[in-house]
Chains A and B, each alone.
Chain A
Amino acid sequence: MQQEVVLALLAKEPSYGYQLRARLRQALGSLGDAMNAGQVYVTLTRLEKAGLVTSEPSPGLPDRPDRKVYELTPAGQQRVADWLAEVGWPGPAPAEFHLKLVAAAAAKLADPLAIVDTQRRELFRRLRDAQRAAMAEPDYSDAGLLLEGLVLRLQADLRWLEACERHWTARKGQ
C-alpha cells in the first residue's frame, strides 16, 4: 500500500485504522479485496516512525495498532499536499490516481476537477509528442507500431479522465 494514499485518507480527520480500511473498501470496491488486512497497519507503523503521523491509544483499550487513533503531523500534511499537486509520469497507476481524487474530495484539500485538468494537459502534451513521432515514421515501420501503442494508451487514459470529470462534476452538484 502506497504510503501517500494512507496519509491522504487520514487528511479528512483523525481516524482508527479500521476506518481507513473502510474508506479504501468504499473507494476500491472488489479491487480492494486483494489487499491484505494488515497492510494498512504496517503502513501506519512505518509512517509513524517517519514522523508523518502520530497515534493516540484509546483510553481503556489495549495498546495495539487497531485500537489507536492516527493523526497527520504537519510534515504528514505537507507530504499529502505535495502528493496531490504532483503530476506523475508515466502513470500514476489508475488506483493511485483514483485514490488521489477520492482523498482530495473527502478532505476538501484540493478540487478533484483541478487535478483531472492538470493531468489531462499533461497527457495531451505526451499525446502530441507521440502522435508527432508517429507521423514522422514511414508507413508500416516497426517503430510506428510501437508509437501507435503509446498513442492508443494515451487516448484510453484521456477517455478515462473524461469519465473522471463527469463523475466528480456530478458529485460536486450533489
Chain B
Amino acid sequence: MMSETPDTFVLRTRELSKTYGKAAALVRAVDEIDLDVASGETVAIMGPSGCGKSTLLHLLGGLDRPTSGEIWLAGRRVDQMSEKALARLRRTAVGFVFQAFHLMEELTAVENVELPELLAGRSPRAARRRATELLDQIGLADRAAFLPAALSGGQRQRVAIARALVNEPLVVLADEPTGNLDSAATVEVLRLFDGLHAAGQTLIIVTHDSRIAATADRMISMRDGAFIDETRLTGGARGDLGALAGLEE
C-alpha cells in the first residue's frame, strides 16, 4: 500500500466502513469515511443516537475491526494488525474516555490512573510518580487516595481523563464524556480538554453536547454512518454576548 501519510496527520482513515447484517438487512453503521486529524487538533463529531459515531470511535481506537477501508495512526496502518499488536496499540498509543467513566470501583483515584502504566510494563514507582503528577495537574492531588464512589461525577471523569493520558497517547478518544455530568461538571471537563488542547494533545470527541462541539477546532456532523457537514469554528465578537444577555448599548 503506497498511500501518502504526512506526519502532520496523527490519524487518517480512507473509505472506512463497518457493516452489520446482510443483503436487505445490511446496516452501514460507518459508511466510507475519510477523516484526517492533524496533530494537536480537537475534533468533535456530532450526530443523533444511532448515527454511527460511537462505532467510528471504536474503530479508530482498535476496539472493533472495520469491514473495509484503512486506518492510519502516526503513519502506520493499523486496521490489519494482529490482535496482539492491536492490544499493545490500545494500551500505549490511544487513550479512551467513556461516558460512564469505567473506573475500577475498588481502586483509588491514583491506582486507577497508574493502571495502564503498570499494564504497559512501567515500574510501580515510576508509574505512581507519573500518576500523582497528572492528578496534581488536573487539580485532584488531594483526592488521590479516594475511591471513585467518594468523588463527584466531574471528578470521576477527570480521573478517567488522567488515566487516558497517562501513557502519553498519540490521540485521546472520548465517547460522550459529558453525557453523565451536570452543567458545572461539564465546565470542569471542558476546561480540562481546553488545557490538553493548549498542551498540544490530539483529541477526538463524539458527543451530542453542543457545548463540546462549540469549543472544538472542528465540528463534524454525522448521519446514517456518513459525514454530512464540517465546520471550522471561530469565535464571533464578544460584544454580541451582551446583546444576547439583554445588555443593549
By a beta-carbon cutoff of 8 Å, the part of chain A in contact with chain B is 89-90, 117, 121, 124-135, 139, 146-155, 158-159, 162
**Residue pair B243, A158 in contact (C-beta under 8 Å):** no
**Residue pair A125, B210 in contact (C-beta under 8 Å):** no
- Let me know if B34 is at the binding interface, CB within 8 A: no
What CA separation (Å) do A139 and B187 show in the bound complex?
A: 9
Given A129-B235, A130-B241, A147-B241: 20 more A-B contacts, CB < 8 Å: A89-B240, A89-B243, A89-B244, A117-B229, A124-B219, A125-B235, A126-B236, A126-B240, A126-B244, A128-B233, A129-B236, A130-B244, A131-B190, A134-B187, A148-B183, A149-B245, A150-B245, A152-B183, A155-B210, A158-B210
What CA separation (Å) do A147 and B229 show in the bound complex?
A: 28
Q: Hey, which chain B residues are within 8 Å of A135, CB to CB?
A: 187, 190-191, 194, 215
**Residue pair A125, B211 in contact (C-beta under 8 Å):** no
Cβ < 8 Å to A, chain B residues 32-81: 48
Cβ < 8 Å to A, chain B residues 136-172: none
Q: Are A128 and B231 also in contact (CB < 8 A) when A90-B243, A146-B245 are?
A: no
27 interchain pairs, CB-CB under 8 A: A89-B240, A89-B244, A90-B240, A124-B210, A124-B219, A124-B231, A124-B233, A125-B234, A125-B235, A127-B214, A128-B214, A128-B235, A129-B238, A129-B241, A130-B244, A131-B190, A131-B214, A131-B215, A132-B235, A133-B241, A135-B190, A135-B191, A147-B241, A149-B245, A150-B244, A150-B245, A154-B244
Q: Hey, which chain A residues are within 8 Å of B243, CB to CB?
A: 89-90
User: By DSSP majority rule, is chain A's interface helix, strand, loop, or mixed?
Assistant: helix
What is the chain B residue whose CB lies nearest that of A156? Answer: B210
Give the shortest distance, in Å, between B4 (CB) and chain A (any CB).
Answer: 32
Q: Hey, which chain B residues are within 8 Å of A125, CB to CB?
A: 233-236
CB contacts between A and B, total, < 8 Å: 72
What is the chain A residue whose CB lies nearest that of B191? Answer: A135
Q: Hey, which chain A residues are within 8 Å of B103, CB to CB?
A: none
Q: Are A126 and B233 also in contact (CB < 8 A) when A134-B187, A151-B211, A155-B211 are?
A: no
- Let me know if B213 is at the binding interface, CB within 8 A: yes
Q: Hey, which chain B residues are within 8 Å of A146, CB to CB?
A: 245
What CA separation (Å) do A131 and B238 show in the bound complex?
A: 11
**Residue pair A127, B211 in contact (C-beta under 8 Å):** yes
Q: Hey, which chain A residues are within 8 Å of B244, CB to CB?
A: 89-90, 126, 130, 150, 153-154
Q: Hey, which chain B residues are within 8 Å of A127, CB to CB?
A: 210-211, 214
Give the shortest distance, in Å, between A138 (CB) and chain B (any CB).
Answer: 11
What CA separation (Å) do A149 and B194 show in the bound complex?
A: 21
Q: Hey, which chain A residues are within 8 Å of B23, CB to CB?
A: none
What is the chain B residue whose CB lies nearest that of A153? Answer: B244
What is the chain B residue whose CB lies nearest that of A159? Answer: B210
**Residue pair B215, A128 in contact (C-beta under 8 Å):** yes
What CA separation (Å) do A67 and B152 show in the bound complex?
A: 68
**Residue pair B214, A133 in contact (C-beta under 8 Å):** no
What CA separation (Å) do A131 and B231 show in the bound complex?
A: 17
**Residue pair B234, A124 in contact (C-beta under 8 Å):** no
- Let me know if B184 is at the binding interface, CB within 8 A: yes
Q: Hey, which chain A residues are within 8 Å of B213, CB to CB?
A: 124
| Interface hub of B187, B233, B234 (most chain A Cβ within 10 A) | B187
Q: Hey, which chain A residues are within 8 Å of B215, CB to CB?
A: 128, 131-132, 135
